[in-house]
Structure 1
């Protein structure tokens, strides 16, 4: 069955256009609610959101949908995506919902669904919900309509949970940390968790107004954080994205450290402690060849998946790994949660910084990256990847890089973009190859 609503990370799009409307959200609530009405207990769903203006609209529509089919609703207000996964399990809910478009601008929004185990839904579950979206909903009789309530202690529950990822003997006293919350879902909880562990916290991106999420702040826009770290003479900077499931770090010199370096740091620390499972790390095809070589030098493997944290997670669970993630900053640590959690990953990095006694610039540069270049080409209409000239350009590039590097060409799962990435030991060759493919895609777009 072809997917009309679900993409690589739930349902996402421009609000009040296409699938991302209040009417669709209500139908999602009805369809997902019906799908998870199993057994004779009182059913419940936990709903969280980030700070987008449209979050109020989508939340209200989802509440109407779920209650109309007989599900009780618990609303948390703005909280990170991993917090909703956690609360879904803790509150014995049948379903969890996060209203967020992650790192996208405020005009977009999305709906992410979690099962009762706190993991994102399987393809099979999503396909069944897709089918129900096209069917007439089975509305509850009057006496079985669900109730809705908002809980006030959700932030405190999450802060307590993430602090448990740090050993009890670790304190962050003496560290000055700039925390950039992207004006998003973690604007209250992330600075609080780090401050409670003893750090001096300088918080930016903590004044959401509904329209400034991810705007010039956060993990996809590091300039403000880099400048603030240098200005404050801070020890380190932490950047989250809009729903706080990503982490990018900035060292004391203002230099960015991506997810590949952080995965290496966390995995090798866990290897030393004897807690790393699976014999390595799971990442996507976008992770740098330098990470793969670095792990191999320590007797570890790097297993690659398609782009998307859900594919990383599926592979981790199937093969017994407990560390995985993406170069973009998704960090999945299954010992501490069921989905990517930027705050937990940040605490693990900060704990390593404390234990090492080193400066961030010394500790975080785990390996020398192989020259890698990623460019995005926007298109209208049909994907240019079907074009004969584009296929020929890709084939030529693959032949040129054979044995000396890697080439990854893929459409974005959330935007009309073709992502062109190449890496290899020769930076000039990498740039030439990428630009040749991009030129072919532009001509065909």
Structure 2
């Protein structure tokens, strides 16, 4: 885990935040020449309170804080790299409901902490750490240009045809869900010459809907696209690392399409394998194959995908939840860069989004979860391998069984005491059947 999260006032209190922020700061400065830590937050109601706690906690262990204020999580990651800082802290619970908040710990590389780094940091927190004396306290300075730099870097991407996109004057409907996206996405669209109609631009953190950008939560955006005749609808989550799309007909196309469409355009300009996680739709395989590439799968989790992308020299990757990673910019999920890539695709193809999506096979994903049984999951995996003898087996992260047109992934959650069962097939009935058959040994273990 690369963070600490919980419901505000329950598992997540100012005391807990102070302990982990100070412990992370002491750990990070002990491993790096710099004593600087970049801090940013999303728009949540509890954000300002935890922001003040984090600043003081970091100062108390001698860290110099670079405060970028309310900003997308990818902007925090980029700022860590820009300032050559010892690390970063993003105060955000991403797509979780309003009563949640979290700390996300960022390494000097701009990546979230991997498993080994997280374990080392947590061990340091548990062992205790020294506080700075009065004359060694850290200082705080403000960086007001972080979002501007982020925008400039996106617009400077060599294959992004900014004049061509501006010339199209796309009509865009936007939903920022009262999150940090309102600080950057409207400005990006303006600089790309788009005509924008937006909802959810208030940055008060009082989300008007469930903040996860999945199809069932985008009804207002679908209606806005239909009412305005927009070319595309864009929805971002509160910390702006996920992007979902609505086509020109007012239909949410599903968050898996974001990475697939970004991949379609990038593979025209860059070559190499595409990296994603084990639970991402195989539509990405279809897109990559047509682009002369192939898909490599990593365990679920942004840092796992990013590390594999770096090792494989992948030009594009991410996760099927709407998270696009373009390493040419940085190795983190980035909704603004996803926005730019989708507009580039619409400019290059000069066809409606629905027509582009319509070129590919359709798949249905079904997701289920159940309380984790007390027994060993290895026995469950063995039973499933026996039940599906012709499947391709992947055991990097739980068990994934795949066939040419369908797959199922059974894995324990890294954040909750549950097991997730995710399946995809040519139809919802096919996917449901895979989930049902894959749940059977789990249900049997729970009854034992």
TM-score by length of 2: 0.87
Which has the larger displacement, 293-302 or 124-133? 293-302
Cα distance 1:40–1:188, how it changes in 2: closer, same or farther (>3 A)? closer
Q: Does the 8 A contact of 1:410 with 1:419 survive in 2?
A: yes
1:4 maps to what in 2? none
Residues 74 and 149, structure 1, Cα contact 8 Å, conserved in 2: yes
Could you tell me whether the CA contact under 8 Å between 1:104 and 1:214 is conserved in 2? no
In structure 2, how many angstroms separate the alpha carbons of the residues matched to 1:226 and 1:144?
Answer: 54
1:37–1:267 CA distance, 2 compared to 1 (3 A): same
**1:291 match:** 284
User: Is 1:70 matched up with 2:69?
Assistant: no
- Tell me if structure 2 keeps the 8 A contact 1:261–1:366: no
CA contact (8 A) 2:362 2:426 kept: no
Determine which of 329, 335, 343 is the counterpart of 1:342: 335
Relative to structure 1, the CA distance from residue 32 to residue 418 in structure 2 (aligned partners, 3 Å threshold; closer, same or farther) is same
- Quick one: structure 1 residues 78 and 365, their matched pair in 2 at CA, closer, same or farther if it must change by over 3 Å? farther
The runs of 5 or more residues in structure 2 that have no matched partner are 392-401
Query: What secondary structure does 2:65 align onto?
Result: strand
Q: Kindly report the root-mean-square deviation, in angstroms, between the aligned alpha carbons of the 2 structures.
A: 2.8
The aligned counterpart of 1:233 is 229
SS in 2 for 1:208: coil
Where structure 1 has 5 or more consecutive residues not aligned to the other structure, the ranges are 1-6
Q: Which position in structure 1 is the counterpart of 2:361? A: 368
Q: Offset at 1:162?
A: 2.8
> Structure 1 residues 397 and 33 mapped into 2: Cα distance closer, same or farther (>3 Å)?
same
**Alignment match, 1:51:** 43
Say if 1:170 and 1:413 are closer, same or farther in 2 by CA, change over 3 A.
farther
> CA 1:51 to 1:294, structure 2 compared with 1: closer, same or farther past 3 Å?
closer
Match of 2:164 among 167, 170, 174: 170
Q: What SS does the corresponding residue of 1:292 show, helix, strand or coil? A: helix
1:398 equivalent in structure 2: 388
- Identify which of 238, 244, 247 aligns with 2:243: 247
Going from structure 1 to structure 2, the CA distance change for 1:313 and 1:389 (only over 3 Å counts) comes to closer
2:425 aligned residue = 424
- Asked if 1 retains the 8 angstrom alpha-carbon contact of 2:34 and 2:86, the reply is no
* Counterpart residue number, 1:257: 253
Q: CA deviation at 1:81?
A: 0.5
Aligned residues: 431
Deviation at 1:306, TM superposition (A): 1.4
**1: distance between equivalents of 2:34 and 2:296?**
42
Cα deviation for residue 127 of structure 1 reads 1.7
Structural mapping, 1:270-349, within 5 Å = 270-273=266-269, 275-276=270-271, 278=272, 280-349=273-342
Match of 1:142 among 113, 134, 144: 134
Asked whether the 8 Å contact 2:111–2:303 carries over to 1, the reply is no
TM-score, reference length from structure 1: 0.87
Q: Secondary structure at the residue paired with 2:182?
A: coil
Distance 1:244 1:421 in 2: 25
Instruction: Specify the alignment match of 1:157 in structure 2.
Output: 149
